[in-house]
Amino acid sequence: MAEYPYRFYRALHRGNEGDVEFYRRAMYGAESVLELGAGDGRIARALVDEGLRVTALERSSEAIHLGRSAPGGDEVQWIEGQMEHFELGERFDRIIAPYTAMFCLLDSEALLGCLRAVRAHLERDGLFIFDVWPADDFHAEGEVDQDEDEESDAGSGKGSGGWRDDWQEDELAPVEVDGVRYRVFESSRWDRAAQLLDVRYRYEPEGGGEPVEGAIPQRYFLVPEILRALEDAGLFALVLHGGFDQRAYDEDSERLVVTAARRDSTLFTQ
């Protein structure tokens, strides 16, 4: 499938309620911030208003073009690149990865590579903050096929029971792109043992015509995996929140918000 056209992506995926204000608050005391997987800078451009030096890392040239031309976009330093590995030659007071960007890292090696790069680019007392959807209950409650690996192997990301063939399709709210209204259909399939989701979108013009398609592959990580990967990269989770209102994370949380720091941070001695 061709790359997801970003104009269509952003028409549907608009962030989560409260995320912009949360990341604004998280900038207290900071002078610089790097956003990973920034898209068109929905968050990054909002942080420009806080008087920060804002850098946005994004792999899609289309998203960067749209971000540069949006309000505040000309004040962001845009860098086209991958989250898995980056070398920018500077450090930041804050590094953020909003809107489940971390689940776009499709295996454990990519996650560790990203976190090691975060460690290398974070000021000693800086903070790394990201949010994802909580995957632990979703994974645990899934029905286990008989031919899948034993439960003790689930979470390793090494084995796979294979993709389930029963695509689940739902119609979402319509969107408008470049003056054209589209019906939107979301379909997904799941490889539970490998913790992979293949989510696809089909945009059908209401007036007829060729549909536009896009896909978002995700590899979800469980909380123990996230904590272990942070430690392996020289980072440490300071706190897990269950929402942008900073409530405690528990099994009923709708978001997982992680705030981490370097292992050698003086935050541990204050």
List, for residues 125-163, the tens digit of each pLDDT value. 999 999 999 999 999 987 554 344 444 444 444 444 687
In 23-76, the DSSP E strands lie at 32-36, 53-58
Q: What is the pLDDT of residue 1?
A: 64
Nearest to 97 by CA among 201, 185, 188, 226: 226
116 and 28 assigned to the same domain: yes
Whole-model pTM over 0.75: yes
215 and 146 assigned to the same domain: yes
Note down the domain range covering 64: 6-134+221-265
Report how many domains make up the chain: 2
Tokens of 65: 């073009």
106 and 13 assigned to the same domain: yes
Is residue 131 within 8 A of residue 100, CB to CB? The reply is yes
The answer to the question of residue 1 being in a domain is no
Average pLDDT, the chain: 92
Is residue 121 within 8 A of residue 34, CB to CB? The reply is yes
Predicted confidence band of residue 270 (pLDDT cuts 50, 70, 90): low
156 and 30 assigned to the same domain: no
Q: 202-260, pLDDT tens digit by residue? A: 999 999 999 999 999 999 999 999 999 999 999 999 999 999 999 999 999 999 999 99
Looking only at the bridges linking them, the beta strands covering 235-241 and 256-262 are antiparallel
Q: What is the pLDDT of residue 245?
A: 97
CATH number for 10: 3.40.50.150
